[in-house]
Structure 1
Amino acid sequence: MSRFAALGLGAVLLFLATCQGPPKPPADEPEPPAPLPPAHHVQIVAHPDDDLLFMNPDLAEGLRSGRQTTGIYLTAGEADVSNKARYGAARQEGTRAAYAEMVRKPNDWVRGTIPVGRGRLAEVDTLREAPHVRLVFLNLPEDANSQHGEHTLTRMRADPSLTVTTTVPAGATVPYPQTFDRGAVVDALTALFDHLQPTVVRLQDDQPDGRYQNVWVGVHNHPDHVAGAALTREALAAHRPSAFSPMVVTYRDYNVADTPAALSDVDKRTTRAAFSAYARHDVFAEGLMYQIWSDNSGYRYPRRGRWAAWGEGGAVQAYAVRAHGLARWTRSADGDWAGPDLLPLPEPLRPQVTLLGGTLVAQSANGARILLLRQGSHPRWEVVDAPAAADPAENGPPAATVDSDGRIVLAVKNSAGGVSIRRQVSPGSARWQPWTELGGTDVQDGLSVVPAEDGVVHVFAATRGKVLRWQVPRAGTAHPEEVPIGSAHPAGPPEAERARDGSIRVLVRTDRGGELVELASTRQGWSPGRTTYPGAGGVGAPTLVTSGPRSGADLIRVARDGAGAVRVADGAGKPWTELGGAVSDHPAVVAEPGGGVTLIALGFDGELLVNRGSPAPGGLAFTGWRPAVVTPTVLAERAD
């Protein structure tokens, strides 16, 4: 019996048994608290190689850590070559080879099938010596396949009645074509989510920056990337998580070639090795562009470490956008954490949130609105229009602060590629001044705003070539000045903070292997010299936070490295201290009144993690990562 047939029904039952969990109790019995789910990463991409090019090094890091990882491929990637079956099979074999390379195991897979609803099957492959690694192939037609009409996923997204026939790669475990319409694709993905119960879902960019990749007319990205991500979001909305609603991480695609690369040299070697293993099977995967893509990586919407803060009554709160709502954790004045509660949302949100004491600042998924959650005895959502734009999706995520007058200030990268700023009319008011255009060109997503005296705020932004600052007075506008970071180019959003000595510090990752550069601005201008920190690796911006008044450090610098662990520098020019852990994206930092800080992060399994740093000779001494909530709570209801 071949290894294809050997899997058969037994492997399908094993796959479902490991993913579906125990049966639920009868409805008349109270349901016990659900255990925390194991960390399970699921990435959904349009083609074999998309995850290798655009989701690394995060992908390789998760695989090597042993976390359950499933790649789902919507199309066969067969293009419009004469022998589509052979080319589609070669690309899938390349994907298997790349995953085996990333976990350093033999390229030996158990191949079988998995039901995906409405009597349809998909191929599922499990790496024999690393069974936490799985690949699922749906084999829908690729955009360039003219056999049944081009632009299949795009047309299917627009026309629910359109029916298409799958491509059958040579040697596929589903050896016959199947028909799908839009509803069947969404149902298939929903069924996979329900089986797998992912804690992290990785997507491609369905809102690509319209300034780049004009070769893709109208979409600025491969059409399959955009349509596939949109269909996946529809399936996520229908997914029923058994415990935690998953985190969703969206990655930029081809336009990473249009911006400076932030990856460290170590991370580049990892991504190149994975793609090289794939490329040996794909006759078209060669040339400089593939190396440029694999040498860079970026989240679509940069998230800052401002999602946890002190609130009313001595409590600390932390918020995170999930697939089905807004998760909230609360630390009481006694130091005990509770949560997460899943709050319903007025509409879908982008992932970046900023917590300003009792007010949460977020942004609608379509970029048209900024939403403020006013906490207190009667929480309420307030809507503020974003800068006017022909396509509001081109508005970047808002940065927010409170000025010395007590008014909330919002700053946004607008659709023209400049910066817009807006303030409340008065503290606590629901009325806002009009948007003021500060100018600027080629501004990238991810701004930082810092308050100063007399109502002044400092706004920082990065272009592809430099970092800019506006010093905006209480009334009126300002002109940008260039922050002297040297000959390096910013490779991520700047992070700015006001130190205890009154200076404004700005920290930015650069294209020199991810090296970070820090500068200080005083009343007399920029301080001479620059402080540099070696590139920690990984993807995302650093966090820069003023420490508590009794701490010996003025500012705490935090970065997530290429292994998903956290590094801290608690003094200017001090080396990184490796704190370990395995966290997703940007850690938040809360300064403690007695000195020291608490680092707050999200684990890949959905838990909130904390790590307390106390003043000690030579710097901060950290206790190590631990779950914030000792007894897990169950999300009481979905935010439908």
Structure 2
Amino acid sequence: MFIPRTHPMSLACLAGPFLKRILLGGLCALLWPLSTQAADACHGSRDLVVVGHMDDDLLFMNPDLSSSIQAGACMQVLYLTASERKGGLEYMYRREQGVRSAYAFMAGRVNEWQQARLMVGSASITQFTLRSRPGIQLSHLRLQDPWLGPGWGSLTPLSRAESVPGQTVQTLDSPRQTLNREQLVQTLAALIRLYQPTSVRYLDDTNPVPYTQLCWRCTGHGHPDHIASARLVREAMLAAPGNYAQIGYVDYPIQEQARNLTLNEIHSKTEIFRRYAWHDQHACKGPAVCQEPAGPAAEWVQRSYYTSRADYPASLLSDSNGKLYFFASGEQNDAINQWDVHAQRWISLGGRTPEALSAFHYTDGSPGLFARDATGQVWFSRSPDENDWLAWQKIPGPRMLHTPMVSRRDSQAVAMGTDGLFYWSSARQPDYGWGAWTALPALEHAAYPATVSLDRQGRPHIFASNLQGQLFQTYQQSDLTWQDWQTIPAPPSSGGLASILNAQGHIELYLRDRQSQQLQRLIQGSQQSWTRPQNLGLQYVGTPALSLDEKDHVVVAVQKTPGGAIVLLDQGQEREVDKQSASAPALYRLNGTLYLATRPIGPEQRYRLLERRHGQWVQVALTQPPPPGGGQSFSEAPAFITQPYVQP
């Protein structure tokens, strides 16, 4: 049920105890307040979810949504279309009742909501707030949603407005609104700025099939509204950048992939969807006679997969016996995968992650891995023996916006939390666990990621920049507290931070100059003194890969442009190693030999391993794609080892 408030809010609107007025472009919006108190009420996490239809979130984004809600996160869901399917306003209202029932069930609260009308950007939106937990809000733009033709193979109003220049889409309810593509993007960007999310969740924008060639249950095909909504969100995020995770979800094609949810997750996802389906007359006629999820929905509730941009980098690492491996998050299976260079095979290590992983060494030389799940929890695992990995364990403390940056040989990690603070952790001895995240001093307007290196005395130094591009450092003092952030004289940067301890015992820091986009290098003298920035004259994207070479000189590998060449910078000499690469490079030195790994461009997730011999780069391996299955919840992953995957 809900308590209606049908009049539109004016500039003189008064907010209740859990609502706040926010002015944007002369319009008044009601959103969960963005104060420190609100952040505490959200347990540091604010999810913004944007989908085309009511039920897209329940079928394709769970169990992540329910996990976030159960962890205390706030959630703002925006449904772009009315989802009326020729059923008019009455059917739209029933589906809206269904999603409210599902979210109340996820929150474990009474299904009572407060209704309001608000303006965001160019659009008037209907919003429902869960009365007993006002951090959960469901908003509806209510764009008309018929097929503009006989059905599949036709455009919808949303997909037409997204793809055809000059076209518009109208809302179904009153007051009637007409919006073009630019206004839709502006509205989504305004919502991002207002809500200040810690994560933005959307559907799959990467589906290559043209809207008018999509068909129902065809292999690899999605829905035009799903794809259009995701493409609008992606553009809005470019217009409203910030410190938030970006997580895309595959829709219909997950039915073609291996089941990757546990029985508990499937049961929970099923019961949540049923709370919605009881109100959807096309799904079932009520609780007593409801067979949902049925048909393809029965497949969807058993799976959840993330979109990838086919650009995941590899991480190179050796085990304690000096055997080389590399690791990669699966672009198809979402799992953590290990490639055995000598046996030429993949082994899936479980887990389910939407982003790249980090690899590191423990002090005894054994390899370890970091991965982040889609709710922000960071997990680690260790291999005590060859091909043997321990069950994933969670680092206690706050949730993180990204996989931690790690000092590969020193078991030190840094990451930005959802509260905007940087956190540090290190491996413990002798149990090889990781300590709870320790908050570093606050850095105003911080940008992520940061980088960490140990100095010659073994003290960790952390380097970061703010949104204005200023460069800062902090280090751990003798009493184990952290020095306040100190500025480092350098031109404004646009990220691309990386650091390494050179053979002379000095930290070298690399960054991207904001104006020229070129690689800059600073070398630490004393604890807080630095050389003047040296422009190395090389434009690049992403983060540099650093290593010591065969003669202990620092060598740098960068990618010049997205999908472009990999260039190596060694003792001032620039050399192109690969003309094209889908990923950033990875560097690693093992037994005096330098290795480099990249992902070739193409739909298959393969990796190319190069070895430098007498100054020449030689390909020593080209992997098969990782296995199509093997991903699963970190918390329910078994102790390893699983059977290795053999490419058929």
What TM-score, normalized to structure 1? Answer: 0.56
Deviations for 1:342-393, whole angstroms, at most 9, x for unmatched residues? xxxxxxxx6xxxxxxxxxxxxxxxxxxxxxxxxxxxxxxxxxxxxxxxxxxx
Partner of 1:298 in structure 2? 305
Instruction: Spell out the pairing of 1:484-495 with structure 2 (5 A cutoff).
Output: none
Using a 3 Å threshold, how does the CA distance of structure 1 residues 246 and 90 change in structure 2: closer, same or farther? same
- Which of 163, 167, 173 matches 2:172? 167
For 2:297 and 2:438, the matched residues in 1 are separated by 40
Q: Which residue of structure 2 lines up, in the alignment, with residue 249 of structure 1?
A: 247
Q: Which runs of 5+ in 1 are unaligned?
A: 24-33, 169-174, 302-349, 351-395, 400-447, 451-496
| CA drift at 1:208 | 1.5
Q: Identify the residue that residue 552 of structure 1 maps to in structure 2.
A: 364
- What is aligned with 1:18? 20
Match of 1:330 in 2: none
Partner of 1:188, secondary structure, is helix
Verify: 1:126 aligned to 2:124, yes or no. Answer: no
Tell me whether 58-67 or 230-239 shows the greater mean CA deviation: 230-239
Please name the residue that 1:155 is paired with. 160
Q: Residues 466-516 of structure 1: CA distance to partner in whole angstroms, max 9, x if unpaired?
A: xxxxxxxxxxxxxxxxxxxxxxxxxxxxxxx43231324467899xx9997
**What's 2:231 paired with?**
230
The answer as to whether partners of 1:116 and 1:188 remain within 8 angstroms in 2 is yes
Determine whether 1:503 maps to 2:503.
no
Tell me if 1:135 matches 2:138. yes
| Partner residue, 1:625 | 437
SS of structure 2 residue aligned to 1:5 = coil
Superposition misfits of 4+ residues, deviation over 6 angstroms: 34-37, 145-149, 506-510, 513-519, 530-533, 637-640
Aligned residue for 2:270, secondary structure, equals helix
Taking a change above 3 Å as real, the CA distance of residues 578 and 211 of structure 1, as seen in their structure-2 partners, is farther
Give 1:128 deviation, angstroms: 0.6
Give the whole-Å Cα distance in 1 for the aligned partners of 2:301 and 2:258. Answer: 13
Matches within 5 A, 1:558-577: 558-560=370-372, 564-570=376-382, 571=384, 572-577=388-393
Amino acid aligned to 1:257: Q
Asked whether 1:93 is paired with 2:97, we answer yes
CA displacement, residues 300-332 of structure 1 (integer Å, 9 cap, x when unaligned)? 11xxxxxxxxxxxxxxxxxxxxxxxxxxxxxxx
Contact 1:40 1:68 in 2 (8 A): yes
Give 1:397's aligned residue.
311
Find the counterpart in structure 2 of residue 613 from structure 1: 427
Partner amino acid, structure 1, of 2:319: A
Residue 4 of structure 1 is matched in structure 2 by 4
Residue 468 of structure 2 is matched in structure 1 by: 636
Change (3 A) 1:138 1:519: closer
Structure 1 residues 230-379: aligned runs within 5 Å: 230-239=231-240, 244-285=242-283, 286=292, 287-301=294-308
Q: Equivalents in 2 of 1:221, 1:203: separation in Å? A: 14
CA contact (8 A) 2:13 2:21 kept: no
In 2, distance between residues paired with 1:299 and 1:290? 17
Map 1:201-240 → 2, pairs under 5 A: 201-208=200-207, 215=215, 220-239=221-240
- Shift in Å, 1:155: 1.6
Query: Given the superposition, is the C-alpha separation of residues 557 and 116 from structure 1 closer, same or farther in structure 2, using an over 3 Å criterion?
Result: closer
CA contact (8 A) 1:143 1:153 kept: no
Paired residue for 1:441? none
- Structure 2 vs 1, CA of residues 19 and 605 (structure 1 numbering), >3 Å: closer, same or farther? farther
Contact 2:147 2:155 in 1 (8 A): yes
Q: How far has the Cα of 1:229 moved from its partner?
A: 1.9
Offset of residue 191 of structure 1: 3.0
Distance 1:566 1:265, change over 3 A: farther
Distance 1:280 1:36, change over 3 A: closer
CA displacement at 1:276 relative to structure 2: 1.8
Q: Identify which range, 135-144 or 123-132, moves more after superposition.
A: 135-144
Cα distance in structure 1, aligned partners of 2:344 and 2:227:
43
Please report how far the alpha carbon of residue 107 of structure 1 lies from its aligned counterpart in structure 2 after TM superposition: 1.1
| Residues in 2 aligned to 1:266 and 1:542: alpha-carbon distance in whole angstroms | 26
SS in 2 for 1:126: strand
Number of equivalenced pairs: 419
How many angstroms apart in 1 are the aligned matches of 2:209 and 2:150?
A: 30
Shift of 1:115: 1.2
Deviation at 1:87, TM superposition (A): 1.5
TM-superposed deviation, 1:232: 2.6
1:389-428 correspondence runs (5 A)? 396-397=310-311, 399=313
Contact persistence 2:198–2:244 (CA under 8 A): yes
Contact 2:315 2:326 in 1 (8 A): no
The answer to whether structure 1 residue 56 and structure 2 residue 62 are counterparts is: yes
SS in 2 for 1:583: coil
For residues 97-133 of structure 1, what are the alpha-carbon distances to aligned partners after superposition, in whole Å with 9 as ceiling and x for unaligned?
1111111111111011111345x52101000111000
Q: TM-score, normalised by structure 2?
A: 0.55
The answer as to whether partners of 2:335 and 2:353 remain within 8 angstroms in 1 is no
Q: Which residue of 2 aligns with 1:193?
A: 192
- Partner Cα distance (2:336, 2:408) in 1: 26
User: Helix, strand or coil: the match of 2:403?
Assistant: strand
**Over aligned residue pairs, what C-alpha RMSD do you find?**
4.4
Distance 1:225 1:160 in 2: 19
The answer for unaligned runs of 5 or more in structure 2 is 26-35, 284-291, 446-465, 470-493, 495-513, 516-648
The one-letter amino acid of 1:122's match is I
| Alpha carbons 1:588, 1:600 under 8 Å: kept | yes
Q: CA deviation at 1:4?
A: 0.6
Asked if 2 retains the 8 angstrom alpha-carbon contact of 1:36 and 1:605, the reply is: no
Q: Do 1:20 and 1:194's aligned partners in 2 also have CA atoms closer than 8 Å?
A: no
